[in-house]
């Protein structure tokens, strides 16, 4: 089940400079693309079959919704460590191990289904385990695309992945329903297990170009995770995206969690109808994806998200009143088009807010918020449906989704699109009187400023912005101190964990950060600010 995650479903279609077909001129991209589409079809067959199987094992709405929770909770729990691993390990080898793990667990699960050994508990357990393996590979799959195509073909490659995954979402559930109805419940699970073989074979065949020797050693996992969270906390563009994502997904998760019950209990349909409903969602997403550049140009990202949220609310109302397949199919079409409109806009907002060095971790934090909200929402709406019924649960979720539009409007999306996150490399190499071991620390850096006291307030305002940059790039503490004996003399301080981490700061500073620094330095009187490095005497981290 390669890359089966709704985060990957909706990598945005943006304006493309080269031909949409240009990525397929590169053999490795074409091979991996085909293999992942086949694997994702198997994954969506498995996902549809799991939800349907639970309705026959235990039709309680809360228990059925827990299938969605088990599928999404791993992203909430493990996405950030997975993103850190994607930033620091060999992506190809990591993906081979991860996809092989999915193959093994999926095969064992298929055996359980084949011999009728499945219970609600082990169904949730296997769904969770497969979700964990998928979570660990998800950030690496997103980060590996630039290694498959040259930079000029990156945008159409991302768009091709989006279309491929949505095609698999349209085809997989429908095939799953047909196979369940014609062959039996075990067929989708076997197909899912073996569909991963093509992806593993493609990764084994791929021989990526060797990158140049890195100047600094790779980060340790714990430090990489802490740095990733620190960056996200001080990246206002990413924070706005996370707030909008959580607000939408808590309510938008309702129809994903309750759809099996709508098909089986409310409409009294079979597995084939459930598959068709999921297929309609995917097909509508493919169609809407083609219109996204036009929609973004006309309404802007915030307008697209507001429209998609309203469409999701309308879809949930239709699911609530659906007692025939035509109404449910109409709701699915609206839901699919709305879903990709929202998630694509959120995804690109996260992408443009992140520099390359923290991209895997930043996207993983976005995915954590995404799937955490889905897991929480699925459990909530399952319990609500069990208490007040399916229609009322859908109506309440729709009302909540509509309320999020005005409540979150202040947090704008894609504000990072116009900033230059290219490494500036403008920090000079620190002057050393003796060799410093890289693991020594913590390290204190001070920057001394002398300014005109009359511009104190605007200087401190600009310096506060620079403080967020220091934290984004690795500082765990930052402060500014004023000399009581010399008016206009200020000392900026920031702490990093080790000398190695400070050297990494030199490589992380972007051109946008350089602009912030220049805005502070223009207040300086006389010579340039004096930078001094201190290292804790006799301590190590």
DSSP state of 496: E
What residues does 533 pair with on adjacent strands?
A: 445
Q: What is the pLDDT of residue 205?
A: 92
CB atoms within 10 A of CB 519: 16
Distance CA 103, CA 246 (A): 31
Q: What is the pLDDT of residue 538?
A: 64
Q: What is the pLDDT of residue 15?
A: 41
Q: Which of 5, 141, 119, 10 is nearest to 73 (CA)?
A: 5
Tens of pLDDT along 476-485? 999 999 999 9
Q: Which of 41, 249, 43 is nearest to 127 (CA)?
A: 43
Supply the angle between the helices 154-182 and 120-148 in degrees, to the nearest 10: 150
How many Å from the N-terminal Cα to the C-terminal Cα in the chain? 40
Q: Half-sphere exposure (CA, 13 Å, Cβ side) for 488?
A: 11
Contact 266, 323 (CB under 8 A): yes
**Stated pTM of the model:** 0.76
Over 80: is that where the pLDDT of 417 sits? no
pLDDT > 70 fraction of the chain, expressed in percent and rounded: 93
Distance CA 127, CA 139 (A): 19
Contact 110, 190 (CB under 8 A): yes
Q: What is the pLDDT of residue 17?
A: 44
CA 118-121-127 angle, 5° bins: 80
pLDDT bin (cut points 50, 70, 90) of residue 104 is: very high
Distance CA 282, CA 168 (A): 8
Q: What is the pLDDT of residue 12?
A: 40
Over 70: is that where the pLDDT of 5 sits? no
Domains of the chain from N-terminus onward: 6-207+220-418 (1.20.1250.20), 443-535 (3.30.70.100)
3-class state of residue 489 by DSSP: strand
Tens of pLDDT along 14-50? 444 456 678 888 888 899 989 998 998 888 888 878 8
pLDDT bin (cut points 50, 70, 90) of residue 158 is: low
Q: Half-sphere exposure (CA, 13 Å, Cβ side) for 88?
A: 19
Least confident residue range of 92-101, 279-288, 436-445, 453-462: 279-288
Q: What is the pLDDT of residue 151?
A: 66
Mean pLDDT of the chain: 85
Over 80: is that where the pLDDT of 142 sits? no
Q: Which of 77, 57, 121 is nearest to 264 (CA)?
A: 57
| pLDDT greater at residue 65 or residue 380 | 380
Q: What is the pLDDT of residue 518?
A: 92
Instruction: Tell me the C-alpha to C-alpha distance, in Å, between residue 424 and each of 355, 475, 498, 511, 535.
Output: 12, 18, 22, 5, 25
Q: Which of 459, 438, 453 is nearest to 501 (CA)?
A: 438
Contact 101, 93 (CB under 8 A): no
In the chain, % helix, strand, coil (3-state, to 5) comes to: 70, 5, 20
Mean pLDDT computed over 287-300: 81
Q: Which residue carries 């230059």 as its tokens?
A: 420
Q: Which of 9, 324, 337, 389 is nearest to 162 (CA)?
A: 9
- The helix (run of H) or strand (run of E) holding residue 479 is strand 477-482
Most confident residue range from 152-156, 179-183, 401-405: 401-405
What residues does 478 pair with on adjacent strands?
A: 494
């Amino acid at each position: 089940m390669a890359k089966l995650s709704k985060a990957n479903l909706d990598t945005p279609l943006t304006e493309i400079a080269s031909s949409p077909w240009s990525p397929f001129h590169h053999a490795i991209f074409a091979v991996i693309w085909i293999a992942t589409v086949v694997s994702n079809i198997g994954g969506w067959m498995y996902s549809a079959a799991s939800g349907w199987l639970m309705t026959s094992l235990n039709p309680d709405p809360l228990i059925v919704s827990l299938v969605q929770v088990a599928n999404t909770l791993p992203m909430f729990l493990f996405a950030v460590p997975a993103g850190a691993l994607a930033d620091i390990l060999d992506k190809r080898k990591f993906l081979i191990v991860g996809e092989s793990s999915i193959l093994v667990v999926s095969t064992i699960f298929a055996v359980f289904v084949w011999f009728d050994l499945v219970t609600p508990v082990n169904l949730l357990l296997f769904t969770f385990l497969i979700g964990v393996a998928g979570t660990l590979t998800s950030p690496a799959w997103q980060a590996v695309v630039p290694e498959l195509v040259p930079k000029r073909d990156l945008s159409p490659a991302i768009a091709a992945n989006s279309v491929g995954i949505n095609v698999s979402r349209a085809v997989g559930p429908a095939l799953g329903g047909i196979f369940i109805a014609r062959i039996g419940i075990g067929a989708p699970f076997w197909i899912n297990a073996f569909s991963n073989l093509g992806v593993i074979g493609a990764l084994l065949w791929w021989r990526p170009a060797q990158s140049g020797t890195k100047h600094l050693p790779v980060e340790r996992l714990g430090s990489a995770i802490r740095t990733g969270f620190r960056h996200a906390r001080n990246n206002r563009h990413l924070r706005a995206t996370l707030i909008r994502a959580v607000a939408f997904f808590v309510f938008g998760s309702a129809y994903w969690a309750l759809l099996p019950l709508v098909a089986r209990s409310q409409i009294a349909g079979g597995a084939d109808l459930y598959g068709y409903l999921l297929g309609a969602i995917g097909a509508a997403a493919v169609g809407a994806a083609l219109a996204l550049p036009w929609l973004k140009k006309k309404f802007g990202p915030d307008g697209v998200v507001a429209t998609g949220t309203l469409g999701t609310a309308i879809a949930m109302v239709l699911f609530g009143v659906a007692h025939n397949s035509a109404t449910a199919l109409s709701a699915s079409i609206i839901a699919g088009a709305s879903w990709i409109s929202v998630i694509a806009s959120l995804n690109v907002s996260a992408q443009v807010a992140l520099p390359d060095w923290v991209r895997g971790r930043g996207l993983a934090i976005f995915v954590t918020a995404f799937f955490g909200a889905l897991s929480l929402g699925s459990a909530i709406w399952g319990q609500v449906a069990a208490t007040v019924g399916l229609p009322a649960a859908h109506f309440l979720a729709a009302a909540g989704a509509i309320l999020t539009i005005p409540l979150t409007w202040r947090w704008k999306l894609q504000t990072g699109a116009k900033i230059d996150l290219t490494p500036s490399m403008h920090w000079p190499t620190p002057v050393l009187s003796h060799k410093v071991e890289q693991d020594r620390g913590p390290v204190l850096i001070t920057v001394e400023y002398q300014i005109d006291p009359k511009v104190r307030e605007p200087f401190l305002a600009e310096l506060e912005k620079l403080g967020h940059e220091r934290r984004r790039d690795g500082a765990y503490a930052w402060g500014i101190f004023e000399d009581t004996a010399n008016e206009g003399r200020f000392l900026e301080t920031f702490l990093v964990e080790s000398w190695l981490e400070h050297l990494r700061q030199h490589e992380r500073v972007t051109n946008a950060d350089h602009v912030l620094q220049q805005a502070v330095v223009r207040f300086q009187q006389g010579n340039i600010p004096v930078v001094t490095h201190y290292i804790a005497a006799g301590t190590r981290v």
